[in-house]
Amino acid sequence: MAVKKRYWLMKSEPEKYPIDQLKEDKTTHWDGVRNYQARNFMRDDMKIGDGVLFYHSNAKPPGIVGVAEIHKESYPDFTAFDPQDKHYDPKSKHESPTWYMVDVKFVSKFKEIIALNELREMKTLEGMELLRKGSRLSVQPVEKKHFDAIVKRAEKQ
């Protein structure tokens, strides 16, 4: 029985991993998330085929740049085991990993970024987590109506 498709937003700094890189790679593993709430979404709730809004953070301007989808469900984030890695976490053990990641697949890149200031002006996005003051979660759920409104907006570009 198919489970209802869910929608997400995932942030990436374009200096580290821009959407163009995902387009080239086609799929990638989403490593380096070190926040428990974000981890729980990835580990427990993300299913193959779920929709993902790809957000560029720490960018000029910040905003949503395209769509991806969940390509592989959660498995241990191996970068946490590597002492040489920036995201190394000695608390995470192979037998009981602390951190998990998923694989995402490129779907589309918007013709133009939908900048954060534009998103804030869209009435249809009222209540969206991303737009909440102080929102910092790098992996967050998105309501279908919000996901659809953003994709629709992108199609009008």
Partner DNA sequence: GCCAACGTTGGC
Cα–Cα distance between 90 and 113 in angstroms, integer?
38
Angle (CA) 92 95 101, round 5°: 55
Instruction: Tell me how far CA of residue 115 lies from CA of 13, 57, 79, 147, in angstroms.
Output: 14, 10, 31, 15
Contact yes or no for 19/104 (Cβ under 8 A)? no
Q: Which of 52, 104, 116, 154 binds DNA (CB under 7 A)?
A: 116
Binding-site string for DNA from residue 34 to residue 73, where x marks contact by CB under 7 A and - marks none: xxxx-------------------xxx-xx-----------
Q: Which of 21, 27, 117, 124 binds DNA (CB under 7 A)?
A: 117
Q: Which run of H or of E encompasses 70?
A: strand 63-76
CB of 27 to DNA, least distance (A): 22
Q: Which stretch binds DNA (CB under 7 A): 30-38, 75-83, 100-108, 146-154?
A: 30-38
Closer by beta carbon to DNA, 28 or else 140: 140
136 near DNA (CB under 7 A): yes
CA torsion sign for 71, 150, 125, 4 is negative
CB of 4 to DNA, least distance (A): 26
11 near DNA (CB under 7 A): yes
Q: Which stretch binds DNA (CB under 7 A): 15-23, 71-79, 129-137, 148-156?
A: 129-137
108 near DNA (CB under 7 A): no
Contact yes or no for 56/111 (Cβ under 8 A)? no
Q: Which of 126, 134, 156, 157 binds DNA (CB under 7 A)?
A: 134
Give the list of residues 6+ apart from residue 14 with CB closer than 8 angstroms, or none.
56, 58, 59
Can you give the binding site for DNA, defined by CB under 7 A? 11, 13, 34-37, 57-59, 61-62, 116-117, 133-138
